[in-house]
Amino acid sequence: MTLTLRDGLPYRTGQGDFAAVIRLILFALLISVPIAEIAVFLVVGEAIGVLPTILLIIATAVLGAFLLRQQGLAALLALQDDIRAKRVPAASIGHAMMIGIAGVLLLTPGFITDTLGLVLFIPAVRRSMFRSISNAIRVERVRPTPGPSGGSRTHPRTIELESRDYRPGGDGAPFSSDRQP
């Protein structure tokens, strides 16, 4: 939730506002990305010819499949190592998700999506993105309030953790790496 101004007065935006913004962004991307890709196809096709353009699109798809297999396997091994060492595999899962997104972008025909996919295959870019995303997540201790039926009730956007699931301070990781199953 963020604090914004509406009619000059501060108010907190709720989850409904956030969902509407996400839907609007996805709709805009769904319309604008194919149009931009078609424009780039036309420019590249005019510059190097139709056949080289088609071969280039096929080559990037093959490259995407190769990189997805290679880096996806490495991400899976890192995930297994984290689990064997009883560490929370948050970074491994984050990298695996970004590798999957990169593979989908490279397999999607288009030079813009291919460029974004190739950038996501760079480990330093993934680390930076993961760091930014994980820094945006805030973990708070919240005391549940009694619910109407005697049980506890928390805010709908609250994820409840036991004290053993959370280690404040230290390396900044929200979850304890020494947690026992």
Condensed to tens digits (0 to 9), the pLDDT of residues 143-155 reads 656 655 555 555 5
What is the pLDDT, as a whole number, of residue 10?
Answer: 44
Phi-psi region at 3: left, alpha or beta (left = phi > 0; alpha = psi -120 to 50): beta
What is the pLDDT, as a whole number, of residue 46?
Answer: 95
Residue 166: DSSP 8-state: B
| pTM greater than 0.85 | no
Residue 127: Cβ-neighbour burial (10 angstroms; 0-12, 13-18, 19+): middle
Q: What angle do CA 133, 90, 102 make, to 5 degrees?
A: 65
- CA-derived radius of gyration, the chain: 22
Q: Model confidence over 82-119: pLDDT tens digits?
A: 999 988 888 889 899 999 999 889 888 899 999 999 99
pLDDT under 70 in the chain at which residues? 1-16, 138-181
What is the pLDDT, as a whole number, of residue 6?
Answer: 47
Name the 3-class secondary structure at 146.
strand
CA dihedral (108, 112, 117, 123) in degrees, to 10, reads 180
What is the pLDDT, as a whole number, of residue 158?
Answer: 59
What is the pLDDT, as a whole number, of residue 109?
Answer: 87
What is the pLDDT, as a whole number, of residue 156?
Answer: 57
What amino acid is encoded at 126 in this protein? R
What is the pLDDT, as a whole number, of residue 149?
Answer: 54
Residue 165: Cβ-neighbour burial (10 angstroms; 0-12, 13-18, 19+): middle
Phi, psi of 152 (to 5 degrees): -90, 155
* d(C-alpha 166, C-alpha 155), whole Å: 19
Inter-residue contact 89 to 82 (CB < 8 Å): yes
Phi, psi of 110 (to 5 degrees): 145, 145
